[in-house]
Amino acid sequence: MPYLDSVEELLEAKEGEHVQFKEAKNRFDFGEAARCCCALANDGGGKLVFGISDKRPRSVVGSRAFEQPERTRMGLIDKLKINVDFQLFTYEEKRVLVFDVKSRPIGLPILYEGVAWIYDGDTLKEMPEEKRRKIYEEIGTDFSGKICDGATIKDLDETAIEAFRAKWIEKSGNKKLATRSKEQILIDCGAMTDAGVTYAALILFGKSEALVRFLPQAEIIFEYRSSEASGPANQREEFKSGFFTCYDRIWELVNLRNDKQHYQEGFFVFDISTFNERVVREAILNAVSHRNYQFGGSIFVRQYRDRLVVESPGGLPFGITLDNILDRQLPRNRRIAEILSLCGMVERSGQGMNLMFELSVQEAKPLPDFTGTDDFFVSVTLNGLILDKAMLSVIHRISDKFTEPMLSTEDFLAIDALYHERPLDEKMLSRLGRLTEMGIVEHIGRKKYVLARSLYAATGKTGVHTRHVGLDRDTNKELLLKHIRANNAVGTPFKELQQVLPGLDRNQIRVLMRELRAEGRVFSEGTTSATRWYASK
């Protein structure tokens, strides 16, 4: 679907599976909006537009629906378990709200209240069973959902099952789960069927002897190394048992050597752990959910003083690349992902990967590094040292100004790139308009942006802001002067100056021209629309 980033483009867009228009002048039902977004996600993603008529020729009618769009966005994410963003436009003093819905993960339909919705023309309907089967077949057979011949419920660890039950009750609030038998819990979550015990059950709940017998490669190895030197690790533990028996222990081992880094702002001193618990746990959960259990080899968690490396066999899942890893999700082991989702340990939409990037930016640390990932292994390095403590002041200033979680992953990545003066990719660039409206970013000419002066002031780096703005201002003045000189024989009308710098409005160009005149570099003749500009001799 082409990217639509203006009201004018929306007015010309074709309504169908990827764009849906709702006038909604006063209000709109949340459940209906959720069904619309569910259908858009199942059809590859798209936009739900409020405040534009659905019949051609379209017109902007304005909408008061969802006056707190961030709260609605979070509600949609919670109900659909899929990425949703929003944009707000003011067009001819009328409000237009657009929810941008990401595509469903490969191999998984999106459900709302148990129904997978799709669009048939402009009509919402339940997805046919045949289409659902085709979606499930997109990634082939789910190994974790297969029955392990010879395995029985006696091969599963009761402690692991009870740990899962407790987390499921906490996540769902369904206290009736506490009264169900162990067998019923396993059936309800899909770990066991009438045909027997699945490989997912063994991986998550299996006893040590059962894993050694049926799936010996399903182990996690933790190592701590105090240096880069080869040879035996300073500490090593091997976990050949169900994931629910060792999940907390792995974090305990990491946390044993988790140094604190101190950051002071004014009179307050903050401690930031080298290894963020949520980031580490998400990296390990990703490895368990996505590794190829039919490959030999183990999951390795290698901790060094300043970084942690998680390696898992099997390469990235089909259709996932390092370029789209934040936008597309594909659980290689669907049954494992569904069980972990039930107890709140992972989101079906892959929000964990986004969270890893967001928290890295918020703690001013390097982004997760996938160097070393190939067709046979996925390697992610979590660098724990703070890159620039001044960046933490920027994040704190933004957090103080916006109490609600209003920023998306792309917002954080754009802020990080602007601060570190790195190029912005297309997705980051698309966020700059909204960040400018929020006062986090300033538009300084053409397609150039810089963090707001107040944010640089929080870091004591207002000179950096001045340098960005000043250099751009001088460049723009030179471009104007060059054009005026080229036409000095006849003079240059003001409207031509606007063509030289189309990214600036009339007032910005007037300011530049006043500065050039004050410097004695240009002069004007005539008045009003007949005014022409000339370069001084």
DSSP letters spanning 170-227: HHH--GGGGGS-HHHHHHHHTSEETTEEBHHHHHHHB-HHHHHHH-TT--EEEEE-SS
Average pLDDT over residues 391-400: 85
User: Cα separation of 114 and 384, whole Å?
Assistant: 40
Q: What is the pLDDT of residues 347-369, one digit of tens each?
A: 644 567 888 999 999 999 999 99
What is the DSSP code (8-state) at residue 256? Answer: H
pLDDT of 194 reads: 92
Q: Is the pLDDT of residue 227 over 70?
A: yes
Q: Which pLDDT value is given to residue 348? A: 47
The identity of residue 282, as a single letter, is E
Starting at the edge strand that comes first in sequence, how are the strands of the sheet with 84-91 ordered?
19-22, 46-50, 94-101, 84-91
Give the residue-averaged pLDDT of 458-465.
Answer: 77
pLDDT mean across residues, the chain: 88
Residue 58 burial by Cβ neighbours in a 10 Å radius (0-12, 13-18, 19+): middle
Amino acid 285: pLDDT:
94
DSSP 8-state secondary structure symbol assigned to residue 423: P
What is the average pLDDT across 505-521?
Answer: 89
User: Which sign, positive or negative, has the C-alpha torsion 339, 342, 344, 349?
Assistant: positive
- Which has the higher per-residue pLDDT, 332 or 515? 515
User: CA 243 to CA 43: how far, in whole Å?
Assistant: 34
Where is 7: in which H helix or E strand? Answer: helix 7-12
DSSP 474: H
Residues 9, 11, 14, 15, Cα dihedral to 10°? 130
pLDDT of residue 327: 77
**What pLDDT shows up at residue 347?**
60
Distance between CA atoms of 33 and 16, rounded to whole angstroms? 16
Does 180 have pLDDT greater than 80? yes
CATH topology of domain 141-358: Heat Shock Protein 90 (3.30.565)
pTM for this model (two decimals): 0.67
pLDDT score of 120 more than 50: yes
Q: Is 404 exposed, middle or buried (0-12, 13-18, 19+ CB in 10 A)?
A: exposed
Q: Which tokens in the block code for residue 63?
A: 């909408």
Question: Which residue(s) pair with 224 in the sheet?
Answer: 235, 303
pLDDT in tens, 415-428: 999 999 899 988 88
Query: Tell me, what's the pLDDT at 332?
Result: 83
pLDDT, residue 4, reads 56
β-bridge partners, 197: 192
Res 251 pLDDT > 60: yes
Give dist(CA 27, CA 38) in Å, integer: 19
Q: Is 339 exposed, middle or buried (0-12, 13-18, 19+ CB in 10 A)?
A: buried
Is 60 exceeded by the pLDDT of residue 382?
Answer: yes
* 3-12, 29-38, 252-261, 383-392: least confidently modelled range: 3-12
The yes-or-no verdict on residue 5 having pLDDT over 70 is no
Q: Given a cut of 70, is residue 400 above it in pLDDT? A: yes
Task: Give me the mean pLDDT over the 234-262 stretch.
Answer: 95
CATH of 464-535, one of 3.90.330.10, 3.40.630.30, 2.60.40.3140, 1.10.10.10: 1.10.10.10
> Which of 86-95, 135-144, 242-251, 467-476 has maximum average pLDDT?
242-251
Residues of the chain with pLDDT > 90: what percent?
Answer: 51
Q: Where are the domains of the chain?
A: 7-135, 141-358, 389-460, 464-535
Give the pLDDT confidence score for residue 372 in this predicted structure. Answer: 92
User: How confident is the model at residue 317, as a pLDDT?
Assistant: 79
Least confident of 26-40, 74-88, 216-230, 321-335: 321-335
Say whether 52 sits in a helix, a strand or coil: strand
Mean pLDDT of 244-257: 96
Q: Residue 177: is its pLDDT beyond 50?
A: yes
188 neighbors 343 (Cβ within 8 angstroms): no
* pLDDT number for residue 15: 66
Fold of 7-135: 3.30.950
pLDDT for position 1: 42
Mean pLDDT of 84-112: 88
Asked if residue 112 lies in contact with residue 82, where contact means CB atoms within 8 angstroms, the answer is no
Question: Which pLDDT band, with edges at 50, 70 and 90, does 475 fall under?
Answer: confident
CA distances to 61, 360, 438, 502, 512 from 517, in Å: 45, 48, 34, 21, 9
Decide if pLDDT at 139 tops 70. no
Share of the chain above pLDDT 70, in %: 96
User: How long is the chain?
Assistant: 537
The whole-number average pLDDT for the span 373-382 is 92
